[in-house]
Structure 1
Amino acid sequence: MVDVLGHLGMALLWLAPVWYFVDHRRTAALVVGGGFWFGMLPDVDLLLSNWFAGIHHHGVLHTVLAATAFAVVLGPLVGLVFRRIGERTDATWFSARARERPTVIGAITVFVTGVAHVFADMLSAPDVSTRIEPLWPVVKGPVVMMDLLWYQSWWATWGLFVLGVTVNAAAWYLTDGPEASAAAGTAAE
Structure 2
Amino acid sequence: MCELSTALMIGGGVLGGAGQISSANAEAKAARYNAEVQRQNAVLAERQARNIIDSGSREEQKQKAMTTQLVGKQKAAMAANGIDPTFGSPLDEMVNTAMQGAIDALTIKTTTYRQADDVRNQAVGYRNQAALLTMQAKNSRTAGMLNAFASMSTAFGKAAANHAKLNPSSGDPTAKAGGAGSSGGFWANFWR
Larger CA Rg, structure 1 vs 2: 2
Which structure's residues are more often helix, by fraction?
2
Does the TM-score normalized on the shorter chain lie above 0.5?
no
Tell me the TM-score range normalised by the shorter chain. Answer: under 0.3
Q: TM-score, normalised by structure 2?
A: 0.27
